[in-house]
Structure 1
Amino acid sequence: MAIYYRKLMDTFWSEYIWLPPNTTWADIDPDVDTAGVQHADYRHLFYPLPMALVMLLLRYLFEKFWFAPVALSLGIKNTRPKHAPENQVLEKAYTLSKRWKHKQIQGLAKQLDMSERQVERWLRLRKGQNKPSTLIKFCENSWRCLYYVFSFIYGITILWNKPWLWNINECWTGFPHQSVTEDVWWYYMISMSFYWSLCVSQFFDVKRKDFWQMFIHHIATIVLMCLSWVVNVFRVGTLVLLVHDCADIFLEAAKMAKYSGYQKVCDVIFAVFTVLWITTRLIIFPFWIIRNTWIEAPTLVPMFPAYYIFNSLLVLLLVLHCFWTYLILRIVHNSLNAGQMDGDIRSSSDDYSEDSKSQ
């Protein structure tokens, strides 16, 4: 069995796939001093796993001792919706399916000698039990906002004197023999630990309509970062991280303002977020980063199969950006009609009123 596993690993990590022509793994061995170049160490990719646990612990401490007290001082209450009355028949039907069609509601009403309205009200209350309080949502958004602020400021700080921030073609100068500086090392490790923590916390956080799209986004980001680290394409990776963190600050801040009752502040922040999102995710990301990796990189370095793997993952992120942009623009359209930002671009999927209208 060990022989087959080794053969599979050797095939997967073939130098032909992951490295430029005439380059071997020995050439970028982190334990070998290659003309003063300190290559990225693939063994360090295990560090973000325990760091993710630290990240989850920090989140718990911040939410309990900082975000929650601030939320309570702003008048945000930790109230939960009313519980639905106990009903074994309805509970069993709810367990089988959380979305009931009109015929099913009629059948349950006749079976229990209840009106359709009573059954619908029970379903709304039962779904409401699964929804978190405003306090919980505020704390969740506060943690993410704090992280994105830190990550963006740290990213700008360490990249300000890096040549590839001002000339993206510098990402390929000397590739794959590029040294990993200590600041870039921490930038990568902290970012990966955050995304690993999101993969865990997502199953316990507020459930959103784009749950699986967001999960795919986290996994694609982690895979992209891991592979770029192993193959020494981390310079492009730092630019991708920087572009992604910018707009997320304002998204989380807008939600915090909305939960706090500052609707006008929320509207202003959300407008800034929309402009930044479109600028960074649909203009800078595809026309600066992807354009470079697709068009300019082949003229600067010899191409190899991994080139297509990296670009495919970048395009996958772009597709997800387009999906979320559609949701954002829909919110903007509804907000202009309503006179204020109404809803959450990643709102809860357990919304009975929307479900019932569609049936």
Structure 2
Amino acid sequence: MAALSAWFCNERFWLPHNVTWADFADPAPGVEYPKASHLLSALPLALGIFAVRILFERFIARPCAFLLHIHATSVHWRATPNPVLEKVFTSITKCPDWRHLDGLSKQLDWDVRKVQQWFRHRRNQDKPSVLTKFCESMWRSTFYLCIFTYGIRFLWQCPWMWDTHHCWYNYPYQVLTPGLYHYYVTELGFYWSLMFSQFTDIKRKAAKLANYAKYQRLCDFLFVLFAVVFFITRLVIYPLRILNTTLFESWEIIGPYPSWWLFNSLLLVLQVLHVIWSYLIAGIAYKALVRGKVSKDDRSDVESSSEEEADTNRTNDRGVQMAFSPKAENGTNGTNGHAVTTKSWPQIRTSSR
């Protein structure tokens, strides 16, 4: 452990030339420098934030959801316990392809459609309700709004907000002010609190609140606002302000050192991700202009309720069954020898009435 600690805390890697850890050991009275021990103070704060989240979702988010007529929906159909299918579901989590469905059908002596329905019902059991999604999104949006407001209020008073050269003057002997300490520790405590719920949380955007409340115009407006802010901050401010100061201004004032290359490499990788995400957002915006409303976010999981997916899948199942049924192939049921597709099933069902 001593050797590992010595390797990890190598001052020649982390600090500029002619700077050692001993230089931070005895600061002047009233002066505080960042320390590794400060990271530990975020642990009890993470527990407190997690407790606040539970209270917030129960006593604030849920009543707000009820006011917007968002209620918890129960799964109408539950999959019957089946060890064989459960094992396959655990390893795949999605409906198997037709080859696997046919094999499972023969193994269980079930109809293929019955096996497919079992997987659909099993997936619906694990899906969180719209109420759960709304409460989680409201908690995150509230926290981000509060920490953003605090950060802007704090940065407004800092000289390096307006002139990024101040980030590197007298570096790394920079005093840790109480405002900066509270900002970073609160942020760190929040993300550490997510470790307690990362296995159950469903990541959602703040604009999803309007989507869950069925406010489509508000949802579209928030998405447009989000896209504009994302493009400006990630494709303009980030490269021209952040990368410019970490790459060029820091090189000019303090010069490069080993960890300088690591940090800037990671920041450049982040910029590449920003370009990729911007491309995906632009694709969604283009589809919104064509279709008249925001479509599914390609960066997130599918946003559909259990009932909607079940209804869609039932319709698809019937359409596929009609398409490949012997009657369809023989030209009966008014198909004139043509296979009935999924899209034509609703019309056939209406005409049969």
TM-score range, shorter chain: 0.7 to 0.9
1:53/1:197 contact within 8 Å kept: yes
Q: In structure 1, what is the equivalent of residue 70 of structure 2?
A: 76
Deviations 1:152-206 (A, max 9, x none): 1000101101000001111011111111111111011101111112243222212
Q: In structure 2, what is the equivalent of residue 118 of structure 1?
A: 114
For structure 2, the residue ranges without an aligned partner over 5 or more in a row are 317-353
Residue of structure 1 aligned with 2:184, choices 176, 188, 193? 188
2:140/2:206 contact within 8 Å kept: no
Amino acid at match of 2:163: N
> Structure 1 residues 286 and 198 mapped into 2: Cα distance closer, same or farther (>3 Å)?
farther
> Structure 1 residues 183 and 113 mapped into 2: Cα distance closer, same or farther (>3 Å)?
same
The question of 1:259 aligning with 2:212 is answered: yes
Counterparts of residues 31-50 of structure 1 (less than 5 Å)? 31-33=26-28, 37-50=31-44
Q: In structure 2, what is the equivalent of residue 324 of structure 1?
A: 277
Counterparts of residues 139-218 of structure 1 (less than 5 Å)? 139-206=135-202
Q: Which TM-score applies when normalising by structure 1?
A: 0.78
Residue of structure 1 aligned with 2:86, choices 91, 96, 107? 91
Q: Which moved more, 1:127-136 or 1:101-110?
A: 101-110
1:15/1:25 contact within 8 Å kept: yes
Deviations 1:229-272 (A, max 9, x none): xxxxxxxxxxxxxxxxxxxxxx8331100001111100001100
Task: Tell me which protein shows more helix as a share of its residues.
Answer: 1
Query: What CA distance in whole angstroms lies between the structure 2 residues aligned with 1:196 and 1:317?
Result: 21
> Structure 1 residues 253 and 94 mapped into 2: Cα distance closer, same or farther (>3 Å)?
closer
> Structure 1 residues 203 and 109 mapped into 2: Cα distance closer, same or farther (>3 Å)?
same
Q: Which TM-score applies when normalising by structure 2?
A: 0.80
1:37/1:179 contact within 8 Å kept: yes
Percent identity, aligned pairs only? 41
Deviations 1:2-40 (A, max 9, x none): xxx2122122212211111111111122x4218x64312
2:296/2:303 contact within 8 Å kept: no
Tell me the CA shift for residue 349 of structure 1: 6.3
4+ runs deviating over 4 angstroms: 349-354
The question of 1:10 aligning with 2:6 is answered: yes
For structure 1, the residue ranges without an aligned partner over 5 or more in a row are 209-250
Query: What CA distance in whole angstroms lies between the structure 2 residues aligned with 1:291 and 1:191?
Result: 25
The question of 1:109 aligning with 2:62 is answered: no
How many residue pairs get aligned? The number is 306
1:17/1:305 contact within 8 Å kept: yes
Q: In structure 2, what is the equivalent of residue 281 of structure 1?
A: 234
Higher RCO (C-alpha 8 Å, min separation 6) = 1
1:140/1:205 contact within 8 Å kept: yes
Amino acid at match of 1:161: Q
Q: In structure 1, what is the equivalent of residue 46 of structure 2?
A: 52
